[in-house]
């Protein structure tokens, strides 16, 4: 297991114990990292606070990633909590209106198109910008985000979220170019279907699982713990020369043509 002793991290996107972000956080905490968490709205606040308490988190705070003022406040709180530094940032945030995850992508209205891209892609840019001075103060850092094959290929019902993931993927590359000069790395994990709260909103999700099991080279689905293990590697010093990369955890499904 990678060593995160002395590392300070911020985790965005935990909703409950089945969240991919929580699987990643558990790996980081087990390696010795001190973690802060954000939550979105009162509905999941208690879940996040309870989970954060289980890893002795020093900070749990609300964050709406569509607000620059909120992002500025949260990273100010993080800096105050972690003595002006930050080593790790986990961005596991995405959203699209459920109406746009069924039917035709062509019918996506303008306002909901931009909402999906704002929450799912621009939020990474905004958070990376806010994290930059904190990571620079500590001599560097590592950022990780979550993507999906639907950003590269048309996946039934993924629709506008696929366009948002394509934007996210490109953002990772450009952020890697900008931030590498300060020894700040950024990578993405492209996971296969995982049963999370967010997955419930995707029409035909069980079909996605069945196809991966049938057609992937390894012939099986993955779980959140698999993603957590891969994420821990990318965030750790073991991956000190890895940046701008998409790391697939999908039993090899992405490599197949049919």
The pLDDT value given to residue 239: 98
Residue 255 belongs to some domain of the structure: no
**pLDDT tens-digit profile, the chain (258 residues):** 899 999 999 999 999 999 999 999 999 999 999 999 999 999 999 999 999 999 999 999 999 999 999 999 999 999 999 999 999 999 999 999 999 998 999 999 999 999 999 999 999 999 999 999 999 999 999 999 999 999 999 998 899 999 999 999 999 999 999 999 999 999 999 998 887 656 555 666 777 788 888 999 999 999 999 999 999 999 999 999 999 999 999 999 999 987
- Residue 3 falls inside a structural domain: no
- pLDDT in the model for residue 193: 87
State the pTM of this model: 0.95
Q: What are residue 156's DSSP bridge partners?
A: none
* Catalytic, out of 39, 122, 158, 248: 158
Which two tokens mark 227? 């993603």
Identify whether 135 is part of a domain.
Answer: yes
62 φ/ψ angles, rounded to the nearest 5 degrees: -80, 145
Residue 148: active-site member: yes
| SS3 state of residue 144 | strand
The tally of domains found in the chain comes to 1
Active site residue 248: no
Residue 151 is part of which domain span? 8-250
Which residue, 150, 194, 200, is CA-closest to 24?
194
Is residue 25 within 8 Å of residue 11, measured between CB atoms? Answer: yes
Q: With respect to residue 192, please indicate whether it lies within any of the assigned structural domains.
A: yes
Asked whether residue 1 is domain-assigned, the answer is no
| CB of 224 closer than 8 Å to CB of 249 | no
Rounded to whole angstroms, the maximal C-alpha distance in the chain is 51
CATH number at residue 82: 3.40.50.720
pLDDT of residue 149: 95
The dihedral over CA atoms of 25, 100, 153, 144, expressed in degrees to the nearest 10, equals -20
Q: Write down the catalytic residue from 39, 122, 148, 248.
A: 148
Residue 209 within a domain: yes
- The answer to whether 236 and 5 are in contact (CB under 8 A) is no
Q: Which pair of structure tokens corresponds to residue 102?
A: 């069924």
Q: What is residue 133's predicted lDDT score, i.e. its pLDDT? A: 98
Residue 36 in domain: yes
Instruction: Give the pLDDT score at 21.
Output: 97
């Amino acid at each position: 297991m990678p060593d995160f002793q002395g590392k300070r991290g911020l985790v965005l996107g935990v909703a409950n114990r089945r969240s991919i972000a929580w699987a990643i956080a558990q790996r980081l905490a087990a390696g010795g990292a001190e973690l802060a968490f954000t939550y979105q709205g009162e509905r999941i606040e208690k879940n996040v606070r309870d989970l954060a308490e289980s890893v002795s988190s020093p900070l749990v705070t609300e964050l709406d990633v569509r607000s620059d003022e909120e992002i500025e406040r949260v990273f100010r709180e993080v800096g105050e909590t972690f003595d002006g530094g930050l080593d790790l940032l986990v961005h596991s945030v995405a959203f699209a209106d459920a109406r746009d995850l069924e039917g035709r992508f062509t019918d996506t209205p303008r306002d909901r198109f931009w909402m999906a891209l704002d929450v799912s892609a621009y939020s990474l840019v905004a958070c990376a910008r806010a994290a930059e001075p904190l990571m620079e103060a500590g001599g560097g850092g590592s950022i990780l985000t979550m993507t999906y094959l639907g950003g590269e290929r048309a996946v039934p019902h993924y629709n506008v979220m696929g366009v948002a993931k394509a934007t996210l993927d490109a953002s990772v590359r450009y952020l890697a170019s900008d931030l590498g000069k300060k020894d700040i790395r950024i990578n993405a994990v492209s996971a296969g279907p995982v049963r999370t709260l967010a997955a419930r909103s995707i029409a035909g999700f069980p079909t996605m699982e069945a196809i991966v099991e049938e057609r992937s080279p390894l012939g099986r689905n993955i779980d959140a713990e698999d993603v957590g293990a891969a994420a821990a590697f990318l965030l750790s010093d073991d991956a000190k020369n890895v940046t701008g990369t998409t790391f697939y955890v999908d039993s090899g499904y992405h490599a197949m043509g049919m």
